[in-house]
Amino acid sequence: MAEVKENKNTYPPEPITVTKASLPEFGEYEELIKKLWENRWLTNMGMYHEELKKRLRDYLKVGGAELFVNGHMALEMAVQAFGLSGEVITTPFTFASTTHAIVRNGLKPVFCDIREDDCTIDAEMIEGLITEDTCAIIPVHVYGNICEYEKIDEIAKSHGLKVIYDAAHAFGETVGDMGVGNLGDASMFSFHATKVFNTIEGGAVTWRKDPEGELESKLYKLKNFGITGKEAVEYVGGNAKMNEFCAAMGLCNLRHVDRWMEERKRVFDRYRKNLGRVNGIRFLEPREDQKLNFAYMPVVFDGEIFDRDDVYERLLERDILSRKYFYPCANAYDCYRDFYDAKDTPVALNISKNILTLPIYPELPDESVDLICEIITG
């Protein structure tokens, strides 16, 4: 580990946040939005919306894509578009949005435990949770770690279930030569300000095949109040359209996202080098055949040599913000705890109490990474 000079880095000159929003040069964004003052078309699928949709389809290597105001509405409307009813098998180790999107569609979440090595849903346990009421599986690519999609798809096909992937963390990732947004029946991406790629706020649903255009048509109409014509409203939809300012930001950021991911990899590798041989600390292991986007830096502490909450507080004392992500598990939320017991998913429960995501963003210097690691191990 590189030596940190006491007089410079004992306390960082400004707080180190767990992430920072990536932005283009102001002039680059300004140049695009000037046109909005000329045409006054600010929303309702304008020129930037349509251009971003096409460019993302190519970048993500998917068959099709539809844009949304945020990732949550993208997932909620993807579920709605498939007309599901009954139970949905999902993971408790995820952000609140995943579970809420299921419940807000009138469906019942059934929580499946996760794998120790990558924190994705344990595909070997899914089949044992299937009942006559099961209609779908919603797995999550946690921290960008791609799920065991082969096994999941095999199970789904044998039982006639839909598979909708929560790919909020997996922007730009591939498995082999395949874009991750092609998995299952559909995938949801989040373009929130804290993500690897952002449109300030935004999201998308992608798919591999939609030969009749049914999914694309349904999603398009659902995000626009269910309107199907000047005098026709066929669906109970909502307002989930991405505006032109967000789409313009997306077009700018898409030009730089590959470079930003490379810088994130530098930070990621620095943490692995500094902490990789420290007893009581382990890293998650993504699939060997996947291209990781380095969106997060999760570290699991053993609870004996290192206490997660103690590490969190020691970093906070030095104005370094890490995150207990995800804690608590979804099945331990106040709004769900009367219906579920987090002890039924013991792996997820244990990891939620011992995992911490450390600061990672393109501009984070090596010296700051070294300081964070010294505070953790010191």
The pLDDT tens digits of the residues spanning 251-300 come to 999 999 999 999 999 999 999 999 999 999 999 999 999 999 999 999 99
Query: What CATH class is the domain 6-22+256-377?
Result: alpha beta
* Per-residue pLDDT at 318 exceeds 50: yes
Confidence (pLDDT) at 12: 56
**Residues 94-110: what's their mean pLDDT?**
98
Rounded to 5°, angle at Cα 198 from 66 and 44: 40
* Per-residue pLDDT at 2 exceeds 60: no
Give the integer Cα–Cα distance in Å for 141 and 123: 13
161 and 135 in contact (C-beta within 8 Å)? yes
* Per-residue pLDDT at 11 exceeds 80: no
Confidence (pLDDT) at 5: 43
* Per-residue pLDDT at 373 exceeds 70: yes
H or E element: which one contains 108? strand 108-111
Nearest to 93, CA basis, from 124, 119, 56: 119
* In the chain, % of residues over pLDDT 90: 96
Tens digits of residue pLDDT in 141-192 = 999 999 999 999 999 999 999 999 999 999 999 999 999 999 999 999 999 9
The mean predicted confidence, pLDDT, of the chain is 96
Give the integer Cα–Cα distance in Å for 227 and 297: 42
Confidence (pLDDT) at 206: 98
pLDDT band, very low/low/confident/very high, at 8 (cuts 50, 70, 90) = very low
* Per-residue pLDDT at 3 exceeds 90: no
Confidence (pLDDT) at 378: 87
Residue spans of the domains in the chain: they are 6-22+256-377, 26-254
Q: How many CB atoms lie within 10 A of CB 36?
A: 17
**Residues 242-257: what's their mean pLDDT?**
98
pLDDT band, very low/low/confident/very high, at 98 (cuts 50, 70, 90) = very high
Which CATH code fits 26-254? Answer: 3.40.640.10
**Residues 109-136: what's their mean pLDDT?**
98
Nearest to 77, CA basis, from 182, 243, 228, 221: 221
Give the integer Cα–Cα distance in Å for 172 and 175: 10
Helices (H), 189-294: 214-222, 244-254, 257-275
Do the two domains 6-22+256-377 and 26-254 of this chain adopt the same fold? no
* Per-residue pLDDT at 248 exceeds 70: yes
**Residues 343-347: what's their mean pLDDT?**
98
* Per-residue pLDDT at 63 exceeds 50: yes
Nearest to 191, CA basis, from 175, 178, 202, 179: 202
